[in-house]
Chains A and B, each alone.
Chain A
Amino acid sequence: MSEEIAPVIDEIKEALPEVEEARIREELERYMKYGIVLREAKKAIIKKFGGTQQNFESSGEKKLVELKGNEMNVDLTVRCLSSTERMQHTSNGEKTLITGLVADTTMIRKYVSWEGHFLEKGKDYRIKGAQARTYRGEVEINLGAFTNVEEAEEDALKDLDVSKLPRFGNLLELTLKDVKAGLSNIHVRGKIMNIEKRVIETERGSRTIFDGMLADDTKRIRFTSWGDFPMEIGQVVSIKGAYVKEWRGIPQINFDERAEIEVLEDVDFDIMKTPRLLAEELMEAGASDVEVVGTVIEVREGSGLIFRCPECNRSLINGNCSVHGQQEGTPDLRTKIILDDGTGALFAILNTEITENILGMSVKECESRFCEDESRVVDHLNQKLLGREFEMRGNVIRDDFGPTVLPNTVNPHEEEYMEEARELIEQLEVL
């Protein structure tokens, strides 16, 4: 047994450096006596002593460009481009702050250490257990007390040519489709589709900000302006120096007084229709108001006639709400599907109205016809959906499990295809 628990004790020690090993072992053995599996016991102990679970959930080895700014424990291989050291006044007195730039083959990022990790310019390092965080919309690397920094072997970064990387701090020019959370200092152009003034309360009093929607011919994206720029609906603007945040996995452009805004008189975008995206384009960032086309390849459990808790609207499982216990339940219809276009798989949740349309039946009719056998509703959904192509339009949110489409409209994709077949044959002949 002790062999099995030794590595777990090490992991807990890492998250709880102030707790003695003997104490951890004692706790762990107590949990195990209760038949709690190691993994669960580990979580519980860390929680009990006030540590956070994330401390040791490693994100593994990443490239700088892959960092999202929320990694608690990530491994990197980088070359140091510059380092400076200075004394900083903090609430705990004077502390040494080291900052600098590091690069790998993908990009340059800033690093920060309060724990004395001074990287030497020109040297390559293997960094284990670093933290990536977002400061003013910019992802930076924090080398903390649990970070292990070692010089890398000679050819660890043999393909790195710093002169070929975009310079740090340079404006990154992007179409809206390529705007991803964590990017900063970006340059985008788009048409203001709507804009709304809002007054919010901050620590330093009330502040006027502007919310709106920006669109180009690739995508629409919400923006927030923290500065008072004269912008109007219908204008095409160039925004330099914005940064990107996300909400439910949907990127949002933010900018403040430091940004440069310019109204472009002779530029316009073809944004008549909702942009259509491939599933693979939604894997890294969600989107608001887009269209996706794909085949329904699975109708998932939890679809069809369901009953909701009258108090909290959660769906009941065997007549039970996870919060309010046994309930009568209000009937509802919904459909959970996988929409796949060959480039990626999208999870989609179809609401009551759309599910009613697909079934050609209201919730009420459905309930009276199928209350004896709810699984028949799923059979009907399978028949109407499986293997069929649909156009879905709406928002695509994103979480750890990938993108989820929440469509406002769902239409069968039934364009005439004979002409398309003929065209493909022509193309094939010269291929």
Chain B
Amino acid sequence: MARTREAARRVFAVEYNSSQHEDRGLEENAPNYVITPLGESVNRMYLIGVLMSKTNNGTDDSPMYRAEIRDPTGTFYLYAGQYQPQALTALAQLEPPALLGVVGKIRTFVRDDGSFYASVKPEVIFPVDIPQRDRWIISTARFTMDRIRALKDAYGMDDPNEKDLVEMGHSGRTAASAVRSIGIYGQVDLEPIKKGIRDALDLVLEGGGESLGELPKMESGPSPKEAEKEKPGAEVKDTVFAIIKATMGNKGALYRDIIEECAKKGIDKIQLEETIQELLDEGLVYEPTIGIIKPV
């Protein structure tokens, strides 16, 4: 069965940045999780904060942006490269300061001295307004306080376990995070996180829900599909399509023959396979039986 999409967890910077542990899946392609001090396991996250700075550490042709996004409790560090096309386009257009929503995956770094850094690999970045930030703060505060509550109850137990925590009224999710936290971090100092939540909620009250007015407009860059079309691919595709038509008999063209003809035109097998897949995806050709390609 396909793996279902990971939830975007709501975590304040103060909690996320003090994470010291990553759970790496044992299977191939298994997702990795940053385990926060309160035990939340994060693979994807949704955060809102102010873009404080951005620097392009790459080149103009292959940019690699590092950006700092501040929430009321601390700073998220973002790294976006060529595999995050939407985030790259957005960062190129947006100038600090700007209030942004970020959906991203975890990114971790362990220094030679063993110190652990958790940052964010953004997937989607978009401008948001104050009310959206406030709602994010409130729901993140709620999730964080649920985790603290479960953890405090767990500290009071001789043998902290999920079953008893659920019986005490905690959700299965927070019960699991409490047990996870104790297993990895032992006893955690909750005060800095509680202070962070307080600062965040105070900001909501101070702001009074006032709107920023006009948000920065963002043009969508080339979507990944369109970007592909700009590659020399379009020409190759025409050539391959022409070859299929030229080599086919009544039942279609033999894959083997297509390979041969394409080789003469300098199209290698990998390129050919990709191109045929594209033609199949676009519905221009189909595969009546394996090994035979036929134009629609």
Interface residues, chain A, CB within 8 Å of chain B?
A: 31, 33-36, 40-41, 44, 59, 279-280, 283, 295, 297-298, 301, 317-318, 320-322, 325, 338, 340-345, 347, 375, 378-379, 382, 386-389, 400-403, 414, 417-418, 420-422, 424-425, 427-428, 431
Chain A residues positioned under 8 Å from B143 (CB to CB): 342
Q: Which chain A positions have C-beta within 8 A of B231?
A: none
Residues of A within 8 A of B251 (CB): none
CA distance A427 to B255 in the complex (A): 68
Q: Which residue of B lies closest to A389 (CB)?
A: B135
Instruction: Please give the distance in Å from B60's CB to the nearest CB on chain A.
Output: 24
Instruction: Name the 4 nearest CB pairs between A and B, nearest first.
Output: A402-B4, A387-B101, A34-B291, A345-B5
Which of B63-71, B179-187, B201-209 contacts the other chain? B201-209
Of A295, A317, A318, A345, which one neighbours B4 at CB under 8 angstroms? A345
By the criterion CB–CB under 8 Å, are B152 and A420 in contact? no
User: Is B225 in the interface zone, CB < 8 Å from A?
Assistant: yes
Min CB distance, A50 to chain B, in Å? 16
Task: Check if A420 sits within 8 Å of B138, measured CB to CB.
Answer: yes
Bound CA span A301–B223, Å? 9
Q: Chain B contacts of A338 at CB under 8 A?
A: 5
Checking A34, A40, A297, A417 against B103 with a beta-carbon cut-off of 8 angstroms, the contacting residue is: A297
Identity of the chain A residue whose Cβ is nearest the Cβ of B45 in the assembled complex: A342
- Of B9, B103, B201, B291, the contact of A36 (CB 8 Å cutoff): B291
Asked if B124 and A280 make an inter-chain contact with CB atoms under 8 angstroms apart, the answer reads: no
Q: Which residue of A lies closest to B11 (CB)?
A: A342
C-beta contact mask, B49-71 vs A, less than 8 Å → 1, else 0? 00000000000000000000000
CA distance A379 to B86 in the complex (A): 12
Q: Which of B178-237 contact A (CB under 8 A)?
A: 194, 197-198, 201-202, 204-205, 208-209, 218-220, 223, 225
Do residues A322 and B283 form an inter-chain contact, with CB atoms below 8 A?
Answer: yes
Bound complex: CA A388 to CA B132 (Å) = 7
Residues of chain A within 8 A of B256, CB atoms compared: 33-35
Asked if B201 and A340 make an inter-chain contact with CB atoms under 8 angstroms apart, the answer reads no
List B residues 231-267 near A (Cβ within 8 Å): 254-256, 259
> Measured between alpha carbons, how far is A424 from B125 in the docked complex, in Å?
28
Q: How many Å from the CB of A399 to the closest CB on chain B?
A: 9
Nearest residue (CB) in A for B224 is A301
Contacts of B220 in A (CB 8 A): 375, 378-379, 382
In the bound complex, do residue A36 and residue B204 qualify as a contact, i.e. CB atoms below 8 Å apart?
Answer: no
* Interchain CB contact under 8 A, A382 and B46: no
| Cβ-neighbour of A425 out of B5, B46, B201, B290 (below 8 A) | B201
| B296 within 8 Å of A (CB atoms) | yes
In residues 102-139 of chain B, which contact A (Cβ within 8 Å)? Answer: 103, 123-124, 126, 128, 131-132, 134-139
A402: which of B5, B123, B134, B283 is its contact (CB, 8 Å)?
B5
Least Cβ distance of A110 to chain B in Å? 24
Let me know if A283 and B255 touch, CB within 8 A: no
Q: A297-B8, A325-B283, A425-B202 are in contact. List 18 more A-B contacts (CB 8 A).
A: A34-B256, A280-B173, A297-B124, A320-B296, A342-B46, A345-B6, A379-B218, A382-B220, A387-B132, A402-B4, A417-B204, A420-B138, A421-B201, A421-B205, A424-B141, A424-B197, A425-B201, A428-B201
Query: In whole angstroms, what is the CA distance A421 to B7 when docked?
Result: 24
Q: A321-B283, A387-B132 are in contact. Are A401 and B138 (CB under 8 A)?
A: no
Of residues B4, B141, B142, which shows the largest number of chain A Cβ atoms within 10 Å of its Cβ? B4
Q: Which residues of chain B are within 8 angstroms of A33 by Cβ–Cβ distance?
A: 256
Task: Let me know if A35 and B139 touch, CB within 8 A.
Answer: no
Distance in Å: Cβ of B9 to nearest Cβ of chain A: 6
Complex CA–CA separation, A35 to B273 (angstroms): 9
Is the beta-carbon distance between A424 and B138 smaller than 8 angstroms?
yes
Residues of chain A contacted by B7 (CB below 8 angstroms): 279-280, 340-345
State A280–B8 Cα separation when bound (angstroms).
12
B145 at the interface (CB under 8 A from A): yes
Q: Are B204 and A421 in contact (CB under 8 A)?
A: yes
Q: Which residues of B contact A401 (CB under 8 A)?
A: 2, 4
Residues of A within 8 Å of B134, CB to CB, are 417, 421
Report if B149 contacts A (CB, 8 A): yes
Size of chain B's interface in residues, with CB distance under 8 A? 61
- When each residue 274-288 of chain B gets 1 if its CB lies under 8 Å from chain A and 0 otherwise, what string results? 000000011110000
Note all chain B residues with C-beta closer than 8 A to A44.
Answer: 290
Nearest Cβ on chain B to A32's Cβ, whole angstroms: 10
**Closest residue to B44 on the A side, CB-wise?**
A345
CB distance from A395 to the nearest CB of B (A): 18
Inter-chain contact A320/B10, CB cutoff 8 Å? no
Q: How far is the CB of A60 from chain B (nearest CB, A)?
A: 9
Determine whether the beta carbon of B9 is less than 8 Å from that of A418. Answer: no
Q: A342-B143, A422-B205 are in contact. Are A386 and B5 (CB under 8 A)?
A: no
- Docked CA distance A338–B5 (Å): 10
User: Which residues of chain A are within 8 angstroms of B197 by Cβ–Cβ distance?
Assistant: 424, 428
Q: Does B1 contact A (CB under 8 A)?
A: yes
Q: Which residues of A contact B218 (CB under 8 A)?
A: 379, 382
Closest Cβ–Cβ distance, residue B28 to chain A (whole Å): 12
A44 to B290, CA, bound (A): 7
- Whether a CB of chain A sits under 8 angstroms from the CB of B24 is no
State in angstroms the CA–CA spacing of A301 and B220 once bound together.
Answer: 12
Min CB distance B48 to A, Å, is: 7
Name the A residues within 8 Å of B124 (CB-CB).
Answer: 297-298, 386
Chain A: minimal CB distance from B295 (Å): 10
Residues A431 and B5 in contact, CB atoms below 8 Å apart: no
CA distance A1 to B16 in the complex (A): 47
Complex CA gap A318/B282 in Å reads 7
Is B4 a contact partner of A283 (Cβ separation < 8 A)?
yes
CB-defined contacts of A402 to chain B, threshold 8 Å: 2, 4-5
Q: How far is the CA of A68 from the CA of B198 in the complex (A)?
A: 45
The reply to whether A301 and B225 form a contact with Cβ atoms under 8 Å apart is yes
CB nearest neighbor in A for B100: A387
Bound form: Cα–Cα A280–B172 in Å: 10
A342-B143, A386-B101, A401-B4 given; A31·B138 CB < 8 A? no
Q: In the docked arrangement, what's the CA distance between A402 and B202, Å?
A: 38
Contacts of A317 in B (CB 8 A): 281-283
Name the residue of chain B whose CB is nearest to the CB of A346.
B5
Give the complex CA separation of A340 and B284 in angstroms: 36
A208 CB → nearest B CB, Å:
37
25 residue pairs bridging A and B, Cβ less than 8 Å apart:
A35-B256, A35-B259, A36-B255, A295-B135, A297-B8, A297-B46, A317-B283, A318-B282, A322-B283, A340-B46, A342-B9, A342-B10, A344-B7, A345-B8, A345-B44, A386-B101, A386-B124, A389-B135, A401-B4, A414-B131, A418-B205, A418-B209, A421-B138, A428-B145, A428-B194
